[in-house]
Amino acid sequence: MTRRLTYGMVGGGPGAFIGDVHRMAAELDGLARIAAGAFSSDAGRSAAKGAEIGLDPDRVYGSYAEMAEAEAARPEGERLDFVIIVTPNHLHFDVAKTFLEAGFHVVCDKPLTTELGDAEALCRLVAGGNRVFALTHNYGGYPMIKDARHLVLEGRLGEIRRVQLEYFQGWLATPLEETGHPQAVWRTDPARAGVAGALGDIGTHAHHLARYVTGLEVEALCGELTTFVPGRRLEDDASLLMRWSDGVRGTLTVSQVAAGEENGLALRVFGSEGSLAWRHEDPETLWWRTPDGRARTRRRGHGWVSSAAARASRVPPGHPEGFIEGFGNLYRNVIRTIEALDEGRTPDEADLDFPTVWDGARGVHFLECAVESGRRGAWVDARYEPPGEPGGRGAAEPGRSGAPGESAQ
């Protein structure tokens, strides 16, 4: 690269864990640096965060609208290259739309929006321009997840038959929101979190992980959504039966009231000639089992892993990589893609390996289908193509609403 790209951040004010994670990850490889921010809707808190990380006070703003206007007015060469959005979910749409319309590339935390219509509006904005829009499903950045994807798409498991997903956390096992805990308060508030609780917060990660590894899409689902903590307004536990494309079957179990669990994300893929298993608590290992009884452990950092896994590794085996590095792999690809487009070059295929606005719309549609299924107690048709998706029929259907379908018994 000829220079470090500059970025601004919306959200991630004092005490916000995820904002610092994104900042560390975006700067992990020395390809970008933060130059501006609207870290809070409270101007004083935004200024405090800017001072904490050493920003020029003139580029620390009290609102994202002020930031978009001021940064867009800067001369070429001085304006931001991209913007990172790490606000509560209900703000994603307005912030993303504002910066896209101002001409900036955007990186947004998941889920994309709280309503499908807003997600589709962002899809059309991105399809009509030359701007990168990335969604931070960071688990796809782990080297051994990339190795799993390689093995599946190479046909090493044979015909895929079943996909098993689980994601267990225990931090909401008690009514933490009643204590004023800021993360618990907004994540359990339908006005800020959206239509789903645990499914929106962590279930979308599992949904994307399965799509990324297998290349499959959900065609129908049947869900049971439960709220265990009295008075909580969104589900904190969910179980889904899922019918994937190509006749594949599977389940997703999600809970944020699994007392004692920390971040128990796990994926298993079963085929006619073998199976794969990966757990976030041991992210350096991918288990590959075959019908003859052999169980192979594929470990990050060794020379025989796939080229995608090798490219996503920074240190030799035995030196653990993890959460920040997964985010960092995503940001590295996004930054290199932005640089290529801004210089009029075609991005390298390997650099295009990150979730897009269309992945985000699929995630929002998945949530709406799951909530509808839970409400009706029935199977729901979950087939969907976002408008403007490259190579998809949705590109020719700009008026499609994408609302969850009828019962798919």
pLDDT tens-digit profile of 302-335?
A: 888 899 999 999 888 888 889 999 999 999 999 9
Residue for token pair 């319309």: 101
Can you tell me the distance from the alpha carbon of 367 to that of 111, in angstroms, rounded to the nearest whole number?
Answer: 9
The reported pTM is: 0.93
Task: For residue 278, give the 3-state DSSP assignment.
Answer: strand
Nearest of 133, 129, 132, 8 to residue 66 by alpha carbon:
8
pLDDT at 16 over 90: no
> Lowest-confidence range among 51-55, 362-366, 399-403?
399-403
pLDDT in tens, 89-144: 999 999 999 999 999 999 999 999 999 999 999 999 999 888 999 999 999 999 99
Task: Provide the 10 A C-beta neighbour count for residue 277.
Answer: 18
pLDDT in tens, 167-201: 999 999 999 999 999 999 999 999 999 999 999 99
What are the chain's domains? 5-139+331-356 (3.40.50.720), 143-314 (3.30.360.10)
Can you tell me the distance from the alpha carbon of 105 to that of 336, in angstroms, rounded to the nearest whole number?
Answer: 12
- Dihedral sign, CA of 105, 86, 145, 335? positive
Residue 77 pLDDT level (bands cut at 50, 70, 90): confident
